[in-house]
Amino acid sequence: MISLPDRGTFVHRYPNGLVLLGEPMPWAESAAFTIAVPAGSGWDPADRSGLASVTCEMCLRGAGERDNRRFISDLESLGVEWSESVSAFHIRFSGACAADVLPQALEVFADVLRRPRLPKDELENARQGLLQDILSVEDDPADLARRELRRRFFPIPFNRPNEGEADHVRAVTWAEVREHYERHFRPNGTILGVAGKFDWERLRGHVGDLLADWPSREPPAVVETPRSAVVAHVDYPSQQTHIAVAYPSVPYDHPQYFEAVGTVGVLSGGMSARLLTEIRDKRGLCYSVHASHRVRPNMGAVLCYSGTTAERAQETLNVLLRELMRLKEGVLEEELDRLKSQYRTGLVMHQESSAARSAAVVTDWHLLGRTRPLAEIDQRVRELTTTALNRFLQENPPQSFTIVTVGPQPLEVPRDVLEAHAT
Amino acid sequence: MTCLKHTLPNGLQLIAECYSDAYTLGIGFFVRAGSRDEPAELAGVSHFLEHMAFKGTPTMTAEEVNLAFDRIGAAYNAFTGEDATVYFAAVLPEFQEAACRLLAELMRPVFPPDEFDREKQVILEEIRMYLDEPPFGADDLCRAKFFAGHPLGRSVLGSTASVEAIGVEQMRAYHRRRYAPNNMVLAAAGRVDFDALVRQAEAFCGGWESWDEDRMLHPLEPAYGFHLSPKPSASHEYLIQMSEGPSGYSKERFAAQLLAAVVGDDSGSRLFWEFVDSGLADSASLAFSEHEDAGVFTLTLSCAEELFSDNLERLRKLIRGLETDGITEEELQRAKRKIFTRTVLAGERPRNRLFSLGLEWLLFQSYQSVQEKLRLVEAVTLEDVNRLIQRYPLSCHATVAAGSWEAIQ
C-alpha cells in the first residue's frame, strides 16, 4: 500500500512577516508556487466592490523592468503556466514550470508584489475587461444563483462578489487602485507556498534576496457582520430553476472538522452518495446536484446546488432539503467506509500535482497557522467513526438554511424547514 | 516508462503506459461510438447509452455499480463525443483488478425499462441545462452548419425531440453493433501491472463476441456563412466560428496546434492582445480539434452587445493580417514553449495521459510518448505554420452569433 509523506513542510518566516512554505516532491520534474496576498475583495470599500479585482488586473499589466507585453512574453519564454484569482481574503498568483526556471519565475512575481507599474493608461482596459466578466455572470443563471447565495450567506464584508458590482467598478479611479495596492500588498500576511522539485536552502535564500527587505505594514482592521438565514428568489427567463442552498458548518481548525467534511461526503461524495441517489437516480429530477464543504477563517459552510426544469424544481428543493435534514438521523457504517476509500484516493492523487500541493499548503497556513501533512489527514480520516459523525450531527444538525433560487418562478420552502430556521 | 500492447482473440485491443514510480493508475474503455455513428432518428443515442451503462449490468443493479466504484475510492466517470465514448476510473494500484472488472461490467448494460425512462428525464434536464448556459446551444448550431450534412456535424446530446423518441430496443441494437470488442480499446496509464491487466481483460472481456461494424469516413465539404441564434435575454453576444484544419492523420496537426496557440491561447496570443487585454471582450480563443476525416479550428468570442459589431470588424482585420503576413518566429517559439510546459505538467498525472493514449490508439492506431510528441512539436518550422495558414484559411468559416437580436442586426 502506498504510504503518504509524514514529514513536515519546510517553513521559514522572514523578519518582515512573509511566510515561505516548501513541500518537496523530489520525484516531480516541475515546481509550482502559490502566492496569497491579503488584499482580497473583503477589503473593498463599501462603495467600490471590485476594487481588489481591478487592482489584481492592474498589477499584472507590467512590473519592474517589464511592461505589459514583456511581462507575458517573459513568462511564456520561461515556460511558466500562471494564473491569478481574487477571493474574499486574498489576491492569489499561482504558477507552475520546469523546476530549473523556478527562480526566474519567482523574480517576475516578486516584481508584481513590490513594483507593479499600475499603468494609468491601461486602467480603462482593465476596467472594461472586468465589467464584461461581471455582466457575463448575468447570462449564466447557475453562476448567478451561486453569487447571490454567497452574498446573502457569508458575513459582510466577505460576502461580496469577487469580480465586484458594475456601477462600483465604473467609478474606480487610478488613485484608488494605487491606494488599495499600498494598503494591502504587504509581506506580513502574505504566504508563498512552493511544491515540487527544489532545494530548500537555495529557495529560502533566493526568496530572501527578493522579498526580505519588503517593508511590512500595519494590517487594516475589519469588522465582520454575520448574516441570518434568508430565502430569496431572482426572476430569470431560464429553462431551468437554479437552486442554491447554504448552511453553517465548523471551521478548518475545529476539532470536528473531519467529521463535518465526512457528513458532506455522505451527501455528495461519489455517485452512490445521497443527493445523487435520491434526486437524480431515483427520481430523475435533474442532471446536476452537489454539495461541498467550504472553509474560511473562523467559519465553515456547506453549499449545495441543483438545476432542474421549473415544473420539477419544487420537488427537487423539497427532496434536497429533506435529505439535508435527514442527515441528523445518522450515517451508516457502509457510507463511512466508502468515504474513507474515496478520501484516500484523493489524498494520493493530490501528491501527483505540484500545483495542487502548493495551493493546499498556503490554505493550511492561512487557516491553521501550520501545514497539515497528508499522512496526518490520512490518519484523521482513518480514525473517523460513525459514532463520532453521528455525535457531530446531533450537535450540529444542518439548519438555518439560506436558500436562493433563480428561474421563472419562486419556490415554497417546506414548513418544517422554516420551523428548523426558528430553532 | 514502457508502452505495452496486446490484442485478445475477439479483437479487444489493450494499450498501457506503465510507470513504476507513479502513485495511481488511470484505466478506461474507449469505444468507437459517437454522435457521428448515429442515424438521424437516433440523434443522442451514444450519449444516452453512456448514461445507461451505469444503470444495470447482467450481474449488478445501478445502485450496486455506484456502490462498488465508491467502495474502491475510484474517481470515475464517462464522456461522449463525436468520435468516441470513454469510460474511465482513476484508482490506487491495489484496485486495478476491481476497476477493470467494474468498467467491463459497464460495457454490457441490460437497459432496465424503468431506469431507461427515468434516465431519459435526466438527459432532457442536461439538454435544458446547456440551453441555459452561454452560448445557449450556438456551438451545436455552428457545428451543424459548418459540417453541412457530414456526420461530424451532429449534436452529441441530440435534441429534446430525438431523445424523447429513442426506444430501448433501438438502443440495444445500437449497442450490439458499436460496443463489440473489436470496436474498442482498453487503455491504462500509470502504475499498471500489464501482465495482470491482460489476464483481467481475458477473464472479464474474453467472452464478448466481435461484430463486423465499421465507420464510414467522408471527405469534409464545409459550408460557410453567417447565422443568427436569437437569445433575447442575453447581455452578451457569443460568437462561434468554425473553419477547416488538417485531420488527425495529417502531419500538419502539430503545426495546427501551434497556430491555435499563437492566435488564440488564453494569454499572450493575438486574440488575447486584441480583445481581452484591451477589455473589448471577456474571452476570445482559438482551439484546434482533430478527427479521422477532418480537423476543425473553433474560434469563440464573447463580449458586451454594444461592442459586438466593432469586434467583428476587428476580428476580420486580425485574420486578414494573419493570412497576409503569417506569424513570426518569436511567436512560434513562445507557442512551442507553452505546449512543452503544458504537456510535461499534464503528463505528471496518469489519468491525463490515459485520454490521449486511448483516443489516439482507438481513432488513429497511433502511439507517441510524451517525449516523441515534444520532438514532433519542436520540429515544426515557421514555413510549416505559414503554409498551413494558406491551406486552411481562417477567413473561410461558418459563424453563429448568439445574443439579443438588435446588436447582431
Picking from B129, B163, B274, B374 by the largest number of A CB atoms within 10 A of its own CB, the best residue to mutate is: B129
Asked if residues B82 and B36 have their Cβ atoms less than 8 Å apart, the reply is yes
Task: Note if the bond before B135 is cis, omega within 30 degrees.
Answer: yes
Residues B229, B194 share a domain: no
- Closest chain A CA to residue B266: A83
Residues B67, B141 share a domain: yes
The phi, psi pair for B367, rounded to 5°, reads -130, 130
Asked if residues B115 and B52 have their Cβ atoms less than 8 Å apart, the reply is yes
A38 φψ region: left (φ > 0), alpha (ψ -120 to 50), beta (else): beta
ipTM, two decimals, is 0.90
pLDDT at B344: 84
Chain B residue numbers with beta carbons less than 8 Å from the beta carbon of A129 are 276-279, 282
Chain A residue numbers with beta carbons less than 8 Å from the beta carbon of B349 are 349, 352-353
Determine the 3-state secondary structure of B249 from DSSP.
coil
| Residue A95 CB burial class (10 angstroms; 0-12, 13-18, ≥19) | buried
Residues A178, A262 share a domain: no
DSSP readout, A142-180? HHHHHHHHHHHHSPBTTTS-TT--HHHHHH--HHHHHHH
> For residue range B184-193, what is the model confidence (pLDDT) as tens digits?
999 999 999 9
- For the CA atoms of A400, A406, A407, A408, the dihedral, rounded to the nearest 10 degrees, stands at 80
Last residue in a domain, options B174, B205, B236: B205
Residues A166, A26 share a domain: yes
User: What does the alpha-carbon distance between residue A157 and residue B77 come to, in Å, rounded to a whole number?
Assistant: 38
Residues A314, A278 share a domain: yes
**Which of B72, B334, B344 lies at the smallest CB-CB distance from A29?**
B344
**Which of A77, A142, A269 lies at the smallest CB-CB distance from B337?**
A77
Residues B257, B134 share a domain: no
Last residue in a domain, options A211, A244, A274: A211
Binning pLDDT at 50, 70 and 90, where does residue B216 land? confident
Mean pLDDT of chain A: 94
Residues A238, A205 share a domain: no
Domain of residue B290, CATH code: 3.30.830.10
Residue A28 and residue B54: Cβ atoms within 8 Å? no
Residue B93 and residue A2: Cβ atoms within 8 Å? yes
Residues A322, A350 share a domain: yes
Residues A266, A166 share a domain: no
pLDDT tens-digit profile, chain A (423 residues): 555 665 678 999 999 999 999 999 888 889 999 999 999 999 999 999 999 999 999 999 999 999 999 999 999 999 999 999 999 999 999 999 999 999 999 999 999 999 999 999 999 999 999 999 998 899 999 999 999 999 999 999 999 999 999 999 999 999 999 999 999 999 999 999 999 999 999 999 999 999 999 999 999 988 899 888 899 999 999 999 999 999 999 999 999 999 999 999 999 998 999 999 999 999 999 999 999 999 999 999 999 999 999 999 999 999 999 999 999 999 999 999 999 999 989 888 888 889 999 999 999 999 999 998 888 888 999 999 999 999 999 999 999 999 999 999 999 999 888 776 654
User: What does the alpha-carbon distance between residue B5 and residue B187 come to, in Å, rounded to a whole number?
Assistant: 9
- Closest chain A CA to residue B22: A352
User: What does the alpha-carbon distance between residue B282 and residue B308 come to, in Å, rounded to a whole number?
Assistant: 12
Chain B residue numbers with beta carbons less than 8 Å from the beta carbon of A351 are 23
A105 assigned to some structural domain: yes
Cell for B139? 456551438
DSSP readout, A226-270? -----EEEEE---SEEEEEEEEEE--TTSTTHHHHHHHHHHHHSS
Residues B135, B91 share a domain: yes
How close B76 gets to chain A, by Cα (Å)?
9
Residue B132 and residue A309: Cβ atoms within 8 Å? no
User: What does the alpha-carbon distance between residue B230 and residue B236 come to, in Å, rounded to a whole number?
Assistant: 12
Residues B160, B16 share a domain: yes
Domain of residue B195: give its range.
2-205
How close A307 gets to chain B, by Cα (Å)?
7
A151 assigned to some structural domain: yes
The phi, psi pair for B270, rounded to 5°, reads -65, -40
A3 assigned to some structural domain: no
pLDDT at B409: 59
Cell for B113? 425499462
Last residue in a domain, options A211, A244, A278: A211
**Total domains, chain B:** 2
Residue B71 and residue A308: Cβ atoms within 8 Å? no
Residues B242, B136 share a domain: no
How close B290 gets to chain A, by Cα (Å)?
24
B109 assigned to some structural domain: yes
How close A289 gets to chain B, by Cα (Å)?
11
**Which of B234, B342, B349 lies at the smallest CB-CB distance from A139?**
B234
Find, among A352, A367, A13, A32, the residue nearest to A194 by Cα: A32
- Closest chain B CA to residue A82: B267
Residues B232, B199 share a domain: no
A217 assigned to some structural domain: no
Residues A320, A184 share a domain: no
Residue A128 and residue B279: Cβ atoms within 8 Å? yes
A180 assigned to some structural domain: yes
User: What does the alpha-carbon distance between residue B84 and residue A106 come to, in Å, rounded to a whole number?
Assistant: 42
Residues B135, B274 share a domain: no
User: What does the alpha-carbon distance between residue B177 and residue A270 come to, in Å, rounded to a whole number?
Assistant: 31
CB pairs under 8 A between A and B: 192
**Total domains, chain A:** 2
Domain of residue A63, CATH code: 3.30.830.10
Last residue in a domain, options B172, B205, B238: B205
Residue B279 and residue A346: Cβ atoms within 8 Å? no
Residues A55, A103 share a domain: yes
pTM here is 0.93
> For residue range B106-162, what is the model confidence (pLDDT) as tens digits?
999 999 999 999 999 999 999 999 999 999 999 999 999 999 999 999 999 999 999
Residue B348 and residue A97: Cβ atoms within 8 Å? no
Residues B367, B283 share a domain: yes
Residues A393, A322 share a domain: yes
Last residue in a domain, options A180, A211, A242: A211
Residues A202, A333 share a domain: no
pLDDT at A423: 46
- Closest chain A CA to residue B92: A345
Residues B354, B277 share a domain: yes
- Closest chain B CA to residue A266: B70
Residues B300, B352 share a domain: yes
Domain of residue A49: give its range.
10-211
Asked if residues B125 and A287 have their Cβ atoms less than 8 Å apart, the reply is yes
**Which of B74, B342, B348 lies at the smallest CB-CB distance from A28?**
B348
A60 assigned to some structural domain: yes
Percent of chain B with pLDDT over 90: 90
